[in-house]
Amino acid sequence: MGEDTGTERSETQTAIMEATYRALCEHGYADLTMQAIADEFSKSKSLIHYHYDTKEELLVAFLDYLLDGFLAKVEETNDGDDPRERLDTLVDILLSGPEESEDFQIAMLELRSQAPYVEAYREAFAANDQHLVGLLADTVAAGVESGVFRDVDPERVAETILVMIDGARSRSVLFGSGDTVAHTRRAIDGYVRSHLVADEE
Amino acid sequence: MGEDTGTERSETQTAIMEATYRALCEHGYADLTMQAIADEFSKSKSLIHYHYDTKEELLVAFLDYLLDGFLAKVEETNDGDDPRERLDTLVDILLSGPEESEDFQIAMLELRSQAPYVEAYREAFAANDQHLVGLLADTVAAGVESGVFRDVDPERVAETILVMIDGARSRSVLFGSGDTVAHTRRAIDGYVRSHLVADEE
């Protein structure tokens, strides 16, 4: 839970990750090939093969790269030590995602749906998720500790928040309704107020 | 919203739908072919082609068949007119699903992830979803009307409940944790109590 933060990545590896992002936007997951990634990469295709033997291996590295991007964003907006503010920030970043194109979100939903069939993806998604559960749960635990939150189960609260975030994101990709994310943001807020916050109803 | 209830389906068509269910469990969506469905069907393959020109058309009919199965189950357990009990029943059925194998849930997640790429799937998923939103919202509206629920926006509440159900189901398929669904059931219960029920906290 957290041991995979800040993977060292060479300039070349980062460029490959950026090419993978563009190739996923362009082709989706099912039609993604090493060639499609090479087409988005300014250097030689053999460099991609040098770093990653298979598409699977490359995509596992890509999931790790996404997590690091998310963590960097969390780091950036580290707005103090108030657990409730911090929880709000985490939810905002997780729910809206980085500036992702819709095509990318569609490709990620597809990649996620392949996880039950591909052990390496499943493990990578699970590791990322455990990291996010940990971040949220630590924040909730800090709030319980300091008395701003009731004596709730931090991991359980983290899970419920992630259930709502995953549901909102997949529905908004599937049904293309921009309102779902905004409505869910308010529903999470209501959940935090009614379930967590110690001195409000 | 509801015009597609109780599609007339011949015995042959129903047998094709049952074969499709088994073929999806066996092969997943990506490897599903008309031949794979024919292999699960006791009659001639040409009968399948007589009814459904393409795999797409067949799967759209299959999504309609799933909705009908869900509605029949709701009908069966129609346990009176109390809106809160009725809402509980709907949530229970939606969240636990029919007695579906894990393989089937994996295949459905995969089919869902293809919806952004295939208009016919997208429309079928959206039509089913609108039907469920309608069912939940009507129940909430009845509760607001009778005073057991506060003056909430029924469609908004329906959407939030479906966000939680979708999130829980996809996480439970992806991470294989049996607890997610049970925890989410309790979180929805908490949401209903704190957000909807008029006379409780």
What ipTM is given for this predicted complex? 0.91
Average pLDDT (A15-22) is 96
Long-range contacts of B183-186 (CB under 8 A, 24+ apart): B183/A156, B183/A159, B183/A160, B183/A163, B184/A160, B184/A163, B184/B95, B185/B91, B185/B92, B185/B95
Residue A132 near residue A162 (C-beta atoms within 8 A)? yes
What residues 88-147 of chain B have any CB closer than 8 A to a CB of chain A?
A: 106, 109-110, 112-117, 122, 125-126, 129
Contacts of A75 (CB under 8 A, 6+ apart): none
More confident residue, B199 or A167: A167
Measure CB to CB from residue B187 to each of A125, A160, A183 and give the nearest one. Answer: A160
Q: How far is CA B36 from CA A25, B33, B40, in A?
A: 31, 5, 7
Angle at which helices A154-175 and B179-191 pack, to 10 degrees? Answer: 90
Structure confidence at residue A138 (pLDDT): 95
User: At A78, is the pLDDT very low, low, confident or very high (cuts 50, 70, 90)?
Assistant: low
Best A111, A156, A163, A165 residue to mutate vs chain B (most B CBs within 10 Å): A163
**For all residues of chain B together, what is the average pLDDT?**
90
Hey, are the CB atoms on B195 and A195 less than 8 Å from each other?
A: no
Distance (Å, whole) CA A119 – CA B101: 19
Average pLDDT (A127-140) is 95
Measure CB to CB from residue A116 to each of B106, B126, B184 and give the nearest one. Answer: B106
Q: What is the pLDDT of residues B86-121, one digit of tens each?
A: 999 999 999 986 566 889 999 999 999 999 999 999
The DSSP bridge partners found for residue A197 are A149
> Has residue A79 got a pLDDT over 70?
no
Q: How far is CA A102 from CA A105, A172, B49, in A?
A: 5, 10, 35
Using a CB-CB cut-off of 8 Å, the residues of chain A touching B162 are 167, 171
How many other CB atoms are found less than 10 A from the CB of residue B61?
19
Measure CB to CB from residue B116 to each of A115, A125, A174 and give the nearest one. Answer: A174
| Chain B residue with the nearest C-alpha to that of A155 | B183
Q: How far is CA A19 from CA A43, A50, A60, A106, A185, in A?
A: 10, 15, 15, 17, 32
Give the end-to-end CA distance of chain B in Å, rounded to a whole number: 33
Hey, are the CB atoms on B162 and A167 less than 8 Å from each other?
A: yes
Give the end-to-end CA distance of chain A in Å, rounded to a whole number: 33
User: At A158, is the pLDDT very low, low, confident or very high (cuts 50, 70, 90)?
Assistant: very high
- A149: three-class secondary structure by DSSP: strand
Handedness of CA B143, B149, B155, B158 (dihedral sign): negative
Structure confidence at residue A149 (pLDDT): 96
Distance (Å, whole) CA B5 – CA B7: 6
CA distance A195 to chain B (A): 8
Structure confidence at residue B1 (pLDDT): 38
> Any chain B CB within 8 A of the CB of A172?
no
Distance (Å, whole) CA B20 – CA B32: 9
Residue B132 near residue B94 (C-beta atoms within 8 A)? yes
Q: What is the pLDDT along chain B (201 residues), one digit of tens a residue?
A: 334 456 788 999 999 999 999 999 999 998 999 999 999 999 989 999 999 999 999 999 999 999 998 888 888 886 677 999 999 999 999 998 656 688 999 999 999 999 999 999 999 999 999 999 999 999 999 999 999 999 999 999 999 999 999 999 999 999 987 789 999 999 999 999 999 997 754
Structure confidence at residue A7 (pLDDT): 72
Q: What is the 3-state secondary structure (H, E, C) of B146-198?
A: HCCECCCCHHHHHHHHHHHHHHHHHHHHHHCCCHHHHHHHHHHHHHHHHHHEC
Distance (Å, whole) CA A154 – CA B82: 34
**For all residues of chain A together, what is the average pLDDT?**
90
Contacts of A176 (CB under 8 A, 6+ apart): none
Average pLDDT (A71-77) is 84
Domain architecture of chain A: domains with CATH: 11-196 (1.10.357.10)
- Count of CB contacts below 8 A, A vs B? 107
How many other CB atoms are found less than 10 A from the CB of residue B57?
12
CA distance B47 to chain A (A): 30
More confident residue, A50 or A98: A50
